[in-house]
Amino acid sequence: MEDGDRPPFPLLRLPDDPLQLVVLLMRRFDQFALSLVSKQSKEVVKSIGLSSRITIKVDEEEVSIRIHRRITENIRCSFADDQVAINNLPSEMVKPTVTSTRGRHSFTRSRKGYRFEDWLSHCLEVFHQSKVITVLFERLIPHFKSFRKTFESFTILKIMREYTDEEARDLLKLFIPVKKLYLD
């Protein structure tokens, strides 16, 4: 019998304690991937009590939700600029690429009706966070006013490049950090 001939292992049919132990022993990336499979799998992942900091980064190539545990174990959900505005219709397919630290593992996952703010809510819920910790800007995005509406509050704002006075004023009006502002 070859690997492809075996029936899939019914992981979610395990009793709660062994199931939680199996999920607890998975890599963080695999736990996150499992949380995206179904509502039941999301609840299992939530039940093991994961905790990670959530950051939103707007860099030269993409907008990403970053899930930080340690330097060696991070997850990045990358989005195109046109996928992060609140006015994206639920029927539009938002397809982030989910990558582990240093790109060792990745997948692209689309969920019909799932928008950027839904992905962010999913990350916050699975990793037991009430808000985004840091928002980091290396550039402005076309719909940054609409993008701001996708999350409620955050603790730290980092601005990593020079902007015109008008751009800086608009950015700081919309993105008011709760605790700290870093200007590079």
Q: Which pLDDT band, with edges at 50, 70 and 90, does 153 fall under?
A: confident
Same domain, 1 and 65: no
Which has the higher per-residue pLDDT, 174 or 85? 174
Same domain, 173 and 135: yes
Residue 156 has pLDDT above 70, yes or no: yes
Work out the percent of the chain whose per-residue pLDDT is above 70.
Answer: 88
Query: What residues make up the domain containing 55?
Result: 51-183
Same domain, 45 and 56: no
Same domain, 74 and 7: no
Same domain, 97 and 22: no
Residue 31 has pLDDT above 50, yes or no: yes
pLDDT of the residue at 91:
45
**Of the listed ranges 33-37, 79-83, 144-148, the one predicted with least confidence:** 79-83
What are the E-state strand segments in 35-139?
53-58, 63-70, 73-79, 97-100, 106-108, 132-137
Same domain, 64 and 17: no
For residue 35, what are the CA distances in angstroms to 39, 40, 108, 122, 159? 8, 8, 14, 9, 32
Q: State the total domains in the chain.
A: 2
